[in-house]
Amino acid sequence: MRPLLRERETTPMFQIDHLGIAVKSLAAAKSIYEKLGLTVSPEETVQQEQVRLVMVPVGESGCAPEKRWRAPDFGRNQNRRRWPPIRVCSSRKYRRRAAVISARLRTTRKRPKTAMILLVTDTSGRSGTAALARAHESDVALIEVVPLAGGMFSAQLVPQIATLLQMHNLNKTEIDAFVVVSGPGSFTGLRVGLAAIKALAEILQKPIVSVSLLEVLATASRAQGKVVAVLDAGRSEAYFGAYEIAGETVRVLREELLAKSDFLSAARESTIVTPDTALAAAARDAGLAVVALEPVGTEMIARFGWKKLQAGDTVSPEQLEANYMRRSDAEIFVKKSS
């Protein structure tokens, strides 16, 4: 008994002449044309810049069968049975132009995305920022930065992000990654900022890069070996971060909250990096090497976050945690009361 033909073997095939592409339906062919920005008329004719491709069945074509162009082995399946015949005709005059379109289609299919859109947020201080940045290879350019008023992060952050995207004709799905400052800093500010980014990353399924302000300072100094980054924490205390830096590799030794009177002894045999003039003067008086930098800005955060993203150093929404260093005022009050 003769076996039944497979369903695939009885499916008509269409050959798009000079593009070297075989498709199973006119709908698939039209989809390819739409990707090229072409239009398909009701007569199944495609026209652009004098390019004319017509797909017609055999018997209705004016083209001679012996002059028909075919791709190798087109019209045959693995068992060498012929597909139901479909004739594709085009003018030889425009064959070279059709080849150009074919190359354009292949480039469109394989072309990688050349730049990534980063959403950068910092709610660690008394005031904050939200920004969009465009990153490509080693270059990071800020698109726009908007300020966030202190004490109003919960009311401003998400609306400002939406405004940023709208101003630059971007959809939230076009955000490729989130760069967020996770500390040290204000308890309330960090909690609000991280909660918003967690929600957005969970919905959009995009990676998060967690950034420490102290680590940003240490790497921005370009110092090597043992490096200590120090920030004023108020209340006669300092945010203290110790790192071992070798080339582009950074190893975190410790990050903690210290009294200002104690950070000098903890920073012995290290290079001090700080934007605070008082802390820098105290370190110089103690005979320590000091690198004075500008306060950490959005561009510094974006560049550091992009490096971490390129290295694959990302976290999921569940793994994103704030590095407060200092306990909240409520916790301090409860401890004093007890």
Domain 115-212+297-338 in CATH 3.10.180.10? The answer is no
Q: What 8-state DSSP symbol labels residue 6?
A: P
Domain 222-292 in CATH 2.40.50.140? The answer is no
pLDDT for res 302: 96
* Percent over 90 (pLDDT), the chain: 50
Task: Provide the whole-model pTM.
Answer: 0.65
Q: What 8-state DSSP symbol labels residue 272?
A: E
HEC sequence for 120-184 = EEECCCCCEEEEEEEEECCEEEEEEEEEECCCCHHHHHHHHHHHHHHHCCCCHHHCCEEEEEEEC
CA distance 204 to 177: 10
Average pLDDT of the segment spanning 120-128:
93
CA distance 216 to 143: 20
Number of H helices, E strands in the chain: 9, 15
Residues of the chain with CATH 3.30.420.40: 115-212+297-338, 222-292
Structure tokens at 2: 């003769």
pLDDT tens, position by position, 76-96: 444 444 444 444 444 454 455
